[in-house]
Chain A
Amino acid sequence: MGMSVRPVDLAEALILRDESGALPFAGGTDLMVRHRAKNGMGPSFQKSLLFVDHLPELRRVKWDHGELEIGAAVPMAVLADDPRARKDALRREEASEEALSKIPSLLRDAAFDLGAPALRTRATPGGNVANASPAGDVLTALVALDARVILAHRNGERELPVLDFTLGPGKTQLAQNELIRAFRFPVPETRWCYWRKVGTRRANALTKVSLGAFGTIQNGTLESLSLAFGAVGPRIVLADDAAKMLLGFSEKDFESSDGKTRMAQAQKLAAQVISPIDDQRSTAHYRKTVALNLFEEALRALAKNLKENTDD
């Protein structure tokens, strides 16, 4: 059993991390469960813990030249638009009204779908990504948003696409001397978001399958699209080939026979990259079928969006 340390700022945290290799610990909503012992015995950690939940550098939401930066330890409640959490963040000057207004609905909804109020006050995007569960809702949303993870170490920082950062359940590219500081992604003005989590129940649920989709629209046509499926493989699945089939789509393409052929091809391509498993929460068959149904639903929503020319 190790010690636990609570550094005052990021600089100290990085020194401690470098010197001890202690386990970074933010909200603890995953770690405390994974390391729980029997009743009345408390959790058991093999490593020392490095608490990072309170570090000011990890709690900021910044709007910077068309990009949103979200600190690794920003409580999910802030992302999920909880009025009290937002008020606290504003009062502590961790976020500005402008930055908060830029949080895309995809991320907000994914954060809201995570657990229940008490979990959202503790859980953080950094933890959700570090946990690297393919069922991680905010992880899925960040992948759909093409976010980069900013990894800090004593002598600087490096950036990686969030998806590349994750290697499989519980496994990431986080080096022994690094901490996740933040996530960054562009938020274009004309954007389209889709988020749907299919959970084990209506609240406080784990994800059986999910789809986060994010597109940009220019002059009524789809300029970019990313489709991120959750819980259909060991990592989040980005259906890029499927998305490419749909680039340049405008309202009429959803009705034309050529457009329909391309949509069917896109769905086939999506099907090829989805390979879910049976477990105690759902079946591979259900996950695959519903993932493709969600894909269809997302396209219907996209068609409607292009027709009505609304964003977000």
Chain B
Amino acid sequence: MTQPLLTVKNLSKSFAARGAASAKDSRTIYAVDDVGFHVEHGETLGLVGESGCGKSTTGRLIMRLIEPSEGSVQFEGQDVLSLKGTDLKRLRKAMQIVFQDPFSSLNPRMSVEDIIIEPLVVQGDMNGTDMRRRARQLLDKVGLSSAHAGRYPHEFSGGQRQRVGIARALAPNPKFIVCDEAVSALDVSVQAQVINLLQDLQEEFGLSYLFISHDLSVVRHISTRVAVMYLGKIVEIADKKTLYASPRHPYTQALLASIPVPHPSLRRQRARIGGEVASALAPPSGCRFSQRCPMAEDLCRREAPAMRHLAASHEVACHFAERSGTRAASPKARAVG
């Protein structure tokens, strides 16, 4: 088996909570807690979870936009977290990121051309004429016109701006792109266009994506494999088919059940989960989902479940994953409301 493009192990990030009454009272938020996964060459790993669960932080940790507290990130066998100075700068050519907000991700004072070539300017191994030529090629590639090069971000719509953001990410010829909620801010029709664009580019350049989103339908469309996060931890990873057809973690099941079905008579029986997400300041002991889980038992409140393999490409962190499988098979039996 060849080495995966990206391997993440035990990745953790904790923040000191602000506003603590005294130094003694200072508490720690575990935004990302012991997260591990890998991304193969040319595949898309979807990362889903509700807001605040640490998906974006995970993306930024891998990119080293935030420094992790613990863990390791290997990119093509290189230890990303130990790189410094020039080596880190070189690595950034191979890893790029597309941001969520197409309005704040483009500098309003720079022309689109300058925005796109910024990575090339910073890396400094191309001359001005070549960079400008590349910017125009990229604009064509992402479905804008090279005539747009001299315009400013405010002259574009959200979808067009996101295309500029994608062009910028492509500029240094990366192998891996983190798409951090890259389509969440766009209208549904524009979402589809941008997703198709991402898929075309993936095919053409052999890109790998880490596709972060809270939208399960979008993730289902674009991903090869999907990881589900809850409160800073990954609870289930499986290839797309397995995850959507037979989810094993109760949280994944609840998430999938919450996707609206656009047909009145096909209304799904909802496996509702009660309560709110527990505070990351004081996560419940044992399994972090135990407070809301419909099948939690004493064991769950005592002991945090480790990730374990159910099948070759199906990992889950639940003590009762086998049992929950039967439940998914007959959802009506346990459904509420």
**Chain A partners chain B:** no
